[in-house]
Structure 1
Amino acid sequence: MPLASSSAPPLPSAKEAPSAVPAKPPANLNVLVLSIDSLRADMPWAGYPRAIAPRLTELEKRSVSYTRAYAISSYTSMSLGGFLGGRLPSELKRSGYFFGTYPEANLFFPEILAGKGIRTLSAHAHAYFNSAGFNQGFDKYEIVPGIKFDNTTDPNVTSPQHEAIAERLLSDPALDTTRFFAWFHFLDPHDQYLSHEKDGIPPYGKTLRDRYDAEVTFTDQWLGKLFDFVESKPWGKHTAIVITSDHGEGFGEHGRYSHGFEIWENLVRIPLFVMIPGVTPRRIDTPRSTLDLAPTILELFGLPPEPSFTGKSLVPEFYGGAPEERDVIVDLPMTSNNDKRRALVHGKWKIMAFGKEESLKLFDLEADPQENSPILRGEDFDAMAKRYRAFSKTVTEVAPYACGENCLNGAYEKKKAAP
């Protein structure tokens, strides 16, 4: 069974959607993006048997939900940089450190929103967000106070404080009369997988996945509190909620744990669903990427496309349009910690490129969802290799401006890991 193949109660599929010309978003729509760090695709709404996220599961039932959604990359810096910049991280100006920084020379979509008078709000729960450059274009941008920074793990519990900051920022009376975009990236499912027994969440077991599941349940409770707050506000009736993640998580697949460094399905398949008041819920099985979110959010606010953004708006699909087949790209540039990886997903096929030399391996995700049996020759390989090479010619690679030889040869010096 492919990762996150749904055995949950079915929503209408894209094929059952009405064929009428898609409607437009309402003129007063707000957008709230809630991204959850390390949230895998195999969640309860996608058939995972343990009910670890009841509030997210309930919201997914009221949403347009993508069953084959991909993160832009396999770890936070690259995925969120691409999300904000509307481009592959390889195409953005950035340092070459693992904890990468993005200079103001990049255009981030919140800057476009703020330039049109839309209020922009954000708060985060990891010290890296102080230096990443993700604050570009936000009127309000805060970090949960008292966070301990460790460049090898995350020892903090932050959802209660984070949710409180989100409520405070969203309580601004100006939002009753001004459209807004808000983004909050919740961190608690991220390693370390800490106990929350004192918060009423009993352990599911002793394995890493058991402990991770308890972290998801803890985060879900606080997201539910935020959902209730949003619904209590006058503007809640015209606010879209986007749920997604920056990457998945490893529990021994391909001998790896945590995330980053590789782009296997368990590391890059993620949840993606969008609840828009008045929009008919359904599930869409066509592969999509969080690279599509920047142009989607611009269209939800009635703004024209930004020509430099390489994703494509999902708004027509929200309003009943038939999803078109198109390729999805996963991009992991070389950094101080990892070699280059890139993948192209086309239908059931996923071709992966390894290293600067881009050695290629093809996988049939229907027949081999765990990616254990690479295809290295044959007609299917040749066709996908040709497709990948043609795509690669369209990428405008931007070399990192820092990290020097470490970025060029993939070596890692721990003392230079953090910017």
Structure 2
Amino acid sequence: MSAQPVDGGRGPLRLVLATSAAMATLGNWPLWQALAELGLLQSAKGWGLAAALAVAVFGALVALQSLLAWRFTLKPVAIFLLLAAAAGAHYMLAYRIVIDQTMLVNVLQTNPGEAADLLSLRMVATLVLGGLLPAWLVWRTPVQPAPWGRQLGHNLGAALVGLALVVAAVLASFQPLSSTMRNHKQLRYLLNPLNSVYALGMVASEPLRRNDRVLLPLGTDARLGPSHAPGAKPPLLLLVLGETARAGNFALNGYGRPTNPALSQLPVVSWRNAWSCGTNTAASVPCMFSHLGREDFASRQANHENLLDVAQRAGLAVLWLDNQAGCKGVCARVPNVETGNLKHPTLCSDGECWDPIMLDGLDARIAALPAAQRDKGVLLVMHQMGSHGPAYFKRVPPAFKRFLPECSTINLQDCSREQLLNAYDNTIAYTDQFLAQAIGWLQQHQASHDTAMVYVSDHGESLGENNLYLHGLPYAIAPDVQKQVPWITWLSPGFAQRQKLDAACLAGRADAAISHDHYFHSVLGLLDVLTSVYQPRLDAYAACRGR
């Protein structure tokens, strides 16, 4: 690092001020755009609010960087913040997402295939011009800190001035600021790159709030119920875990387009008032397989075993097939198979496999499970690629695209509303085809098993409504389309008789409010697994059982 005298104007403070000013202004373009779209920049008071926000972000960044303005930390911290600000600005502008703890977890758990789907020339340009170029300038700028004692004073002084600016900006605009943040909570997640810093801090401090090294046992008293009597057929229950499917885009739920041509010909029951546990896979999947429910799961202080552990402990064979980005720890203690990277002449292309790959060779996979458990029954989970965006066009083979022309770019805002809906609805129609194939496979096993299928998606999706795309908004502010999910059930006659489930009653519950909170208990009920953790009131099928 080149040295220049502090008196020559090359002290750390100048670099802190310059980078903080750039990020607080240009780096917060998504915030200014959101304020404009909300009509908050149409008056002098609105511009005053924007100025106060800029000053507050600037002051917070000055305080943060000043505390770390030492020889070996100054430039790495500034470069990290610049890159985070550039990346955050791109995705917040491109898809109108916000950045919080769950979004950061999504980023950290993204696999190479998902990351490739998000690459675009626009993203590269933003990262280069908004992140890499300023980072290069920071790295090339010669800085000479003062002796450590004097530098400590400088750093603390600058940090106090930065905090004073934050306090002054908040006090100067307290009334409009508090009103705006109360009425438009999403704005607090647009303060760039403070949103990323806060999210990173929450993720890093999670071990202090929850002991992830301990896994508490669950359902240690689990056993099979009376329907598993000697001589009875064993159950074969298929759980299809959907991805990014909106309940409102299913023709079974009243959607005006023929997105369910196959399922509409089958005796399925579709519940159209089902709600997710989260707005992203990392939050929803572990939550829906938990016994805790959404609120208790979010505030848990320790991790527990899940639905699959209880089913396996009761004596059933369990198998998880994953055609997505992993099971998020849910399948860690049961047999599991990754299918997304398999090679198949017709079911895989460009390093990705379409969902029917999970049906290929399935009989052999089940036959490889322990015979003693298999003879008692099988719980099979298939985790779809489904409607994973933004590259919806990649989720469907060309021969199965029903709605054209479709959006064939990840820059969703560049597509017309019709093209975007066509691309997304193609994924729903292909899921319909896959589910019908899965039911066909189950029907082939009715002679030896009582078979059933339950399809539930992990979360929904925004398709440009209110200029929002994709998913992952904080649950409290997320639109309903990101939280309302399909819940579809198919029961073979043998399974319905085994469970004494009334089909007319199930159909009559189409508008009953249910959620992922019911999933754990509903599956245990369908499997007739008896355990003290099972709560009949949270079994969505219990009201129609025994009629």
TM over 0.5: yes
1:246 aligns with one of 458, 469, 481:
458
Measure the CA separation in 2 of the matches of 1:57 and 1:320.
27
Shift of 1:218: 2.3
The residue aligned with 2:481 is: 266
Q: Which has the higher strand share?
A: 1
The residue aligned with 2:288 is: 83
The residue aligned with 1:294 is: 520
2:246 aligns with one of 8, 25, 40:
40
* Pair 1:253–1:171, CA change in 2 (3 A): farther
Measure the CA separation in 1 of the matches of 2:449 and 2:536.
31
Task: Return 5+ residue gaps in structure 2 as ranges.
Answer: 1-224, 229-233, 343-349, 407-418
Measure the CA separation in 2 of the matches of 1:259 and 1:25.
42
Q: Give the superposed CA RMSD.
A: 3.3
For 1:339-358, list aligned pairs within 5 A. Answer: none
Shift of 1:267: 0.7
Contact (CA 8 Å) 1:203, 1:214: kept in 2 or not?
yes
1:133 aligns with one of 325, 329, 337:
329
Contact (CA 8 Å) 1:157, 1:188: kept in 2 or not?
no
The yes-or-no answer on 1:123 pairing with 2:335 is: no
- Alignment-mate amino acid for residue 272 of structure 1: W
Instruction: Give 3-state SS (helix, strand or coil) of 1:271's partner.
Output: strand
Contact (CA 8 Å) 1:123, 1:166: kept in 2 or not?
no
Shift of 1:203: 3.8
The residue aligned with 1:187 is: 385
Shift of 1:52: 1.6
* Pair 1:197–1:146, CA change in 2 (3 A): closer
The yes-or-no answer on 1:317 pairing with 2:543 is: yes
- Alignment-mate amino acid for residue 266 of structure 1: V
The residue aligned with 1:107 is: 305
* Pair 1:167–1:29, CA change in 2 (3 A): closer
Deviations 1:186-239 (A, max 9, x none): 113111111546334344333211101112222322332222111011457612
Shift of 1:157: 4.1
Measure the CA separation in 2 of the matches of 1:25 and 1:40.
37
The yes-or-no answer on 1:51 pairing with 2:246 is: no
Measure the CA separation in 1 of the matches of 2:448 and 2:401.
29
Identity %: 18
* Pair 1:46–1:208, CA change in 2 (3 A): same
Task: Return 5+ residue gaps in structure 1 as ranges.
Answer: 1-23, 96-101, 148-153, 322-419
- Alignment-mate amino acid for residue 107 of structure 1: E
Measure the CA separation in 1 of the matches of 2:296 and 2:362.
31
Q: Which has the higher contact order (CA 8 A, sep 6+)?
A: 1
Q: How many residues align?
A: 281
1:204 aligns with one of 404, 411, 414:
404
- Alignment-mate amino acid for residue 291 of structure 2: G
Shift of 1:176: 7.0
Measure the CA separation in 2 of the matches of 1:162 and 1:233.
16
Contact (CA 8 Å) 2:392, 2:423: kept in 1 or not?
yes
The residue aligned with 1:387 is: none
The residue aligned with 1:5 is: none
Contact (CA 8 Å) 2:239, 2:453: kept in 1 or not?
yes
Deviations 1:375-394 (A, max 9, x none): xxxxxxxxxxxxxxxxxxxx
* Pair 1:219–1:133, CA change in 2 (3 A): same
Measure the CA separation in 1 of the matches of 2:380 and 2:489.
14
Shift of 1:92: 4.1
Deviations 1:54-110 (A, max 9, x none): 233334x433x3221111111111111111112245544899xxxxxx99x422111
TM-score, scaled to structure 1: 0.59
For 1:218-233, list aligned pairs within 5 A. Answer: 218-233=430-445
- Alignment-mate amino acid for residue 253 of structure 2: A
* Pair 1:89–1:201, CA change in 2 (3 A): same
Deviations 1:27-74 (A, max 9, x none): 343321112211111210111121122233334x433x3221111111
The residue aligned with 1:283 is: 508
